[in-house]
Amino acid sequence: MSASYVIIGDGIAGSSAAEAIHEEAPDADITVLTDEGETLYNRILIKEYAKGKLPEAPISIHDPEWYDERDIDIQLNTLVTRINPDAHTVETHEGTEIEYDKLLVAAGGTPNDLPVENADADGVHHFWTFEDARRIREHAEAADTGVVVGAGLLGIDLAAICGGQDVDAKYLMRGNRWWRYALSEAGAEIIHEGLREKGVEPVFESGVDHFEVDDDGALAAAVDGNGVRHDADFAGVAIGLDFNVEILQDTDATIENGVHVDEYMRTEVDDIYAAGDITQYWDTILDERAQNGSWGSAKQQGALAGRTMLADSGHDVEIEPFRWVSSYSITHFDFPFLSFGFPTIGDETCERSYGDNEWRRLAFKDGQLVGGVLIGNLAPQSKYKQLIKEEAVVADQQDVLLQDNFEMDELGAATQQ
Ligand SMILES: Cc1cc2nc3c(=O)[nH]c(=O)nc-3n(C[C@H](O)[C@H](O)[C@H](O)COP(=O)(O)OP(=O)(O)OC[C@H]3O[C@@H](n4cnc5c(N)ncnc54)[C@H](O)[C@@H]3O)c2cc1C
């Protein structure tokens, strides 16, 4: 009998694993379990739906027939509550037990709540699923005033949705700028100005102390830590994710803000693998553990996990260690924005402004380029990514790297570590 492959999560990581397994072993017995009520869709695009810029249809990636055609058993609205590694079973919220030979946990994360009074009020939104996007769109279309909390890559989507839906919004930030771990004031000011042009006002050294509700329990205002009251019938909260690791609690997998996997997506538990946002994977470029909340990385990890599961079941499948430089773009403004690699780590940075709405910052660790942020001109991204992949030691050549358009052969011999 052929091995059974069970996948928890039908996001891009889980779905890519199912696809990879089917491609290499068309007769494989594959089951995909998801607590969502719909099959894989493009999570990156749900912000455009919430802004009112896209209808539903183009956001779907796989319709149910896609699974039928591949004989993949997709079970919607099915929450896995427990994994029993000894019995090789998973248990669902309905008490059903499903056996596996190889199990992939591709369960991603769940947005954190703000730990403040009335954070669960009607009108306070988190943003992860298509269902969230539908609620957000409906509410934002009706709302007059709003606040957004969380000065990162998801928070800015909520701010752009307010702008797109003509909600008069304040973007409350804890520090003195947006994404302060990756941008200096010079770079962040380009984003702030872009927000202002959309009718969203950045408010610095702020944050929510508590929400106020009206007599019906609906959101009425956010009061910040300085006691300033901001009218709001809409609030968007994006302060990070809690990774969905509880189901691994009866296993010996190492859980540490996600689950540890090796460079082939194996956890430390026999026959259990993980992929996507939920992993703390072994990064073969940095030579340390890393985590990556991006679509491309989750897709690659999922496909690799599927192939590793096959290889470990005795199939003749070649596997290569995970080696990936991720990128994440923002398309809300008149200028492009891209972050690549790990722009928030390292021990050294350099940056340059190139005129209005054009700015660049690079981050280095032990002399190696490890990430950066490009605003306005994305042309050099592939060269930077190549240097990261090559582990080139180039921190001493910042003048060349920051040239408007440098050529690789202008760099002096870059040592490889
Ligand atoms: C609004 C938004 C915008 C984004 N924009 C970008 C972008 O521009 N660029 C970019 O690179 N990335 C972007 N991302 C991030 C990117 O979407 C994620 O990194 C990627 O989707 C992660 O994929 P995943 O498969 O690991 O996890 P997920 O997509 O989170 O999928 C996990 C699935 O598992 C399900 N699940 C969880 N627990 C269980 C359980 N116990 N039982 C059954 N099912 C379970 C979840 O409901 C979910 O369907 C964005 C994310 C959001 C929310």
For residues 402-407, average pLDDT: 93
241 Cα to the center of ligand 1, angstroms: 10
How remote is the C-alpha of 116 from its chain's centroid? 24
Dihedral angle of Cα 275, 278, 284, 287, to the nearest 10 degrees: -160
- For residue 39, the CA-to-ligand 1 centroid distance in Å is 13
User: Which atom of ligand 1 lies nearest, measured to the CA of 12?
Assistant: 25
The answer to whether the 4-110+241-312 and 124-237 domains have the same CATH topology is yes
Across 328-335, average pLDDT: 97
Q: Determine the average pLDDT of the residues in 106-131.
A: 98
Among 337, 282, 331, 329, smallest CA distance to 308 is for 282
CA of residue 43 to ligand 1 center, whole Å: 7
Residue to mutate (ligand 1; options 10, 44, 338; most atoms within 8 A of CB): 44
Residue 353 Cα, ligand 1 centroid: separation in angstroms? 34
Q: Which CATH number among 2.40.50.100, 1.10.3720.10, 3.30.565.10, 3.50.50.60 corresponds to the domain 4-110+241-312?
A: 3.50.50.60
What spacing in Å lies between the alpha carbon of 93 and ligand 1's midpoint? 21
CATH topology of domain 327-416: Enolase-like; domain 1 (3.30.390)
Residue minimizing CA distance to atom 36 of ligand 1: 107
The C-alpha atoms of residue 105 and residue 90 are separated, in whole angstroms, by 11
Distance 342 CA to ligand 1 centre (A): 19
| CB distance 48 to ligand 1 below 6 Å | no
pLDDT reported for residue 2:
75
Q: In three state form, how does the secondary structure of 182-196 look? A: CCCHHHHHHHHHHHH
Q: Is 43 in the pocket of ligand 1 (CB under 6 A)?
A: yes
Q: What is the pTM of this model?
A: 0.97
- Residue 87 Cα to chain centre, angstroms: 32
pLDDT at position 1 over 70:
no
- Region 191-208: mean pLDDT is 98
127 ligand 1 Cβ < 6 A: yes
Q: How far apart are CA 305 and CA 238, in angstroms?
A: 29
CA of 265 to the centre of ligand 1 (A): 17
Nearest residue CA, atom 15 of ligand 1? 294
Instruction: Locate 366 and state its tokens.
Output: 């032990």
Does the beta carbon of 44 sit less than 6 angstroms from any atom of ligand 1? yes
Average pLDDT, the chain: 97
Give the atom of ligand 1 at the shortest distance from the alpha carbon of 129. Answer: 53
Q: Whose CA is nearest to atom 8 of ligand 1?
A: 44
Of all protein residues, the one whose alpha carbon is nearest to atom 9 of ligand 1 is 328
124-237: which CATH topology? FAD/NAD(P)-binding domain (3.50.50)
> Is the minimum distance from the CB of 108 to ligand 1 under 6 angstroms?
yes
Q: What is the pLDDT of residues 95-117, one digit of tens each?
A: 999 999 999 999 999 999 999 99
pLDDT tier for residue 417 given thresholds of 50, 70 and 90: low
Q: Is 36 in the pocket of ligand 1 (CB under 6 A)?
A: yes
Q: Tens digits of per-residue pLDDT, 212-266?
A: 999 999 999 999 999 999 999 999 999 999 999 999 999 999 999 999 999 999 9
How far CA 153 is from CA of 127, 156, 163, in Å, comes to: 12, 6, 16
Compute, in angstroms, the gap from residue 18 CA to the centroid of ligand 1.
Answer: 16
Tell me: the pLDDT tens digits for 224-239? 999 999 999 999 999 9
Q: Are 328 and 338 in contact (CB under 8 A)?
A: yes
CA distance 213 to 218: 5
The Cα–Cα gap between 174 and 136 comes to 23
Query: Is 414 a residue whose pLDDT tops 80?
Result: no
d(CA 3, CA 82): 21
Q: What is the distance between the alpha carbons of residues 94 and 96, in angstroms, rounded to a whole number?
A: 6
Over residues 340-365, mean pLDDT: 97
| 415 Cα: distance to centroid of ligand 1 (angstroms) | 37
Confidence of residue 267 (pLDDT cuts 50, 70, 90): very high
CB-ligand 1 contact for 35 (6 Å cutoff): yes
pLDDT tops 80 at residue 416 = no
pLDDT digits (tens, 9 = 90+) for 2-41: 789 999 999 999 999 999 999 999 999 999 999 999 999 9
Distance CA 281, CA 264 (A): 9
331-366 exposure pattern, b = at least 16 Cβ within 10 A, e = fewer: ebbebbbbbbbbbebbeebebbbeeebbbbbbbbbe
Q: Which residue ranges make up each domain of the chain?
A: 4-110+241-312, 124-237, 327-416
Does 11 contact ligand 1 (Cβ within 6 A)?
Answer: yes
User: 413: CA distance to ligand 1 center in Å?
Assistant: 40
Binding site membership of 276 for ligand 1 (Cβ less than 6 Å) = yes
The Å distance, Cα 10 to ligand 1 centre, comes to 9
